[in-house]
Amino acid sequence: MVATTGAQKTALKLERFLPLFLDIEQRWGDIPNYAELVAAFGVARLRRSLLALRWMEETGRIVVDEKVKRDGSDRQRIRTTLAMFDRSSHGFALLSGFHKVMIAEQQLQGTSMRTVRLSMTAAAGMLRRASGMKLMPPTQAVLDSYLTRTPGQRAAVTRFVRYLVEHKGVEMRIPPTNPARAHQLKRRRQERRVLRLMDKPLTDAVSTRRWLGAALSYFHGLDAAVARAVKLEQISRRDGGLLVEWQGDEYWVPIVGQAANSGP
C-alpha cells in the first residue's frame, strides 16, 4: 500500500483510524497478533478498519489467519442471534443455556464455531416459532411445525432438541423424514421465488444471476449455486430466453421482467 499510494497519502488515510491505534497502544503498547486483535475488537470493527488492517499486514506487523477470521465472524453472528431475544424472556434463558453447552462442547470436543453458529441459528428459529405458537418451552408440536416450514434445518436443530431433552426434560424427538412432503415444500418455495422475480427486469449481472438461480432450480432442478459459479461466457441468448452451458449440458430459461431486451 505504501509503495502504490506513497507514504504521505498512506499516513493521511490511516489518520482516520487513530482511535483504533490508540486502543492498541493502551492495551498492548505494540500491535499484537491477529488472533488477539479479533478477540479484543471483533471481526466487525476490524472490517470497518480494513485499510489499517491491510497496512499492518503489508508491513509485516500481522499475519491474517483465515480460520481465526471465520471463527470471529461466527462469534459475532452468535452474539447477534442472542441479542434478538429479550434478556428477561424464557426464550433467551433457553438459548443462552444452550449456548453455554455448545461452547463447552466446542472447547472439550473441538466442535467448530460454524457448527455452534448454525446450531444457535436453528435453535433461535425454533424458539421464535414456539413464541408464535405460545408454547414455551417448545413442544413436539413446535418442532414439527418448525421442520415443516424449514426442513433444511433438520440437522442443525438436532443439537438443540438433544439439549431440551437432556437438560430441560422436554419430551421431544426429531420426526422421521417425509421425502414426498419435503419435495413438495421445496417446490413451493422455488415457485414462490420464481413468481417473485418474474416482474423484475434483468438490468445487470446481479439481477441476471439472481433470476438464473431461481429459474435453474425450478425448471431444471439444479442447485441455485450454479448461477453464481457459471461464467459469463457460458450464458447466451437463444429463442427469446437465456441458455446456460453447465458441465457439458445446456439449460434454457425464459427471460423475464420489463427489460427483456437487455443483455445478460
Per residue of the chain (264 residues), give pLDDT as tens. Answer: 445 445 556 555 667 788 888 888 888 888 888 888 888 888 888 888 888 888 888 888 888 888 888 888 899 999 999 999 999 999 999 999 999 999 999 889 888 999 999 999 999 999 999 999 999 999 999 999 999 888 889 999 999 999 999 999 999 999 887 777 777 878 888 899 899 898 888 888 888 899 999 999 999 999 888 888 999 889 998 888 899 999 989 999 998 764 444 445
Q: What is the pLDDT of residue 187?
A: 87
Global confidence as pTM: 0.62
Closest CA to 200 of 212, 182, 217: 212
Alpha helices in 29-170 (DSSP H): 34-48, 50-58, 66-83, 90-109, 113-132, 140-149, 154-168
Dist. CA 153–CA 171, nearest whole Å = 20
List the 241-246 sheet strands across, edge first.
235-238, 241-246, 249-254
> Is 45 within 8 Å of 17 (Cβ atoms)?
no
> Which stretch of DSSP H or E encloses residue 254?
strand 249-254
SS3 call for 137: coil
Q: What is the pLDDT of residue 97?
A: 97
Peptide bond into 179 cis (omega under 30): no
189, amino acid identity: R
Q: What are phi and psi of 7, to 5 degrees?
A: -60, -40
Closest CA to 82 of 136, 120, 44, 118: 120
Q: What is the pLDDT of residue 100?
A: 96
Q: What is the pLDDT of residue 87?
A: 95
Dist. CA 175–CA 222, nearest whole Å = 27
Dist. CA 111–CA 98, nearest whole Å = 14
> Is 257 within 8 Å of 240 (Cβ atoms)?
no
Q: What is the pLDDT of residue 239?
A: 85
Q: How far does Cα 19 stand from its chain's mean position?
A: 30
Q: What is the pLDDT of residue 260?
A: 43
> What does pLDDT average to over the chain?
87
